[in-house]
Amino acid sequence: MDYVQLNDGNKIPAIGFGVFMIPNDGPTYEAVLEALKVGYRHIDTAAAYMNEQDVGRAVRDSGIPREEVFVTTKLWPQDYAAGNAPAGIDLSLKNLGLDYIDLMLLHQPYGPVDEAWAALEEAKAAGKIRSIGVSNMNVNIWNKWVPGFKTLPAVNQVECNPLFQQRELRAVLDPLGVKLECWYPLGHGNAELLSNPTITALAGKYGKNAGQIILRFETQDGLITLPKSTNPGRIASNLDVFDFMLTDDEMESLRALDTGKGTHDPEDPINEERLLSFRVHE
């Protein structure tokens, strides 16, 4: 496993196991146990995924020392207000059944973001969280909020894959040492991406599948990537990308696939209204 140095001095595994839309009460537990068994040391969940309990139970039952497993979760806007955020952070700790969280993100950039960020800073100072970051912030939203933060985020988790490489955002983040994490790193099963001739040709050359070429490209380009699967074979293969290197020309050929367009617009008022109305607990 490769590790990425964060701007707060902590290190994060370059590939994490995502659990978005995997049900709690069994399926997430089994998937995370399998992921840890085959070598993942980074699990990415969220309060809004409703499966923090399964993630924490799998981490505890894995037999792997706690300090060797990097656990990420995310605070939901329902809990962003200063009066609610500390309880929201504590609820995630309780659901996970862990003494600390390695990385906690603000899941969506809506509502009193500044109040929620201050609560993350306080929880980090108290030792409840090791690293803090944001999610779904494009350049405009980043520039709206982050200059007012006392401390820089360690990461920004956004949609990112070879068809949507977030180059404009990376031009802002890279000079600050803020790492970009990719959700939908494989395009959410996008057939256009997985069957792209450039990618399939490289898969043939290296004896890998299309997903492995994509994940190698992303990690080699300095990104943190979060593939998700419940298939044991796919869980294992998504991690098997550290035994080869793409050439500079091959990296450029993959960079050329960028369309600059993703599936999620965080500035769309419809998305903001929909996500602000969603509740993760009573």
Instruction: Supply the residues annotated as catalytic.
Output: 49
Q: 128, 91 in Cβ contact below 8 A?
A: no
* Rounded CA separation 151/86 (Å): 18
- Token pair belonging to 89: 């952070």
Dihedral sign for Cα 123, 178, 271, 92, please. Answer: negative
Rounded to an integer, what distance in angstroms lies between the CA atom of residue 165 and that of residue 158? 10
Largest CA distance in the chain: 56
Of the candidates 196, 201, 134, 202, the one whose C-alpha atom is nearest the C-alpha of residue 161 is 196
Give one word for 61, left, alpha or beta, with left for phi > 0 and alpha for psi -120 to 50: alpha
| Residues 6+ positions from 129 with CB-CB distance below 8 Å | 89, 100, 101, 102, 103, 104, 120, 123
Distance CA 220, CA 268 (A): 31
15 DSSP assignment = B
Q: Distance between CA 116 and CA 123 in Å, rounded? A: 11
Closest CA to 80 of 53, 59, 111: 111
What is the gyration radius of the CA atoms in the chain, in angstroms?
18
- Three-state secondary structure call for residue 142: helix
**CB distance 3 to 13 below 8 Å:** yes
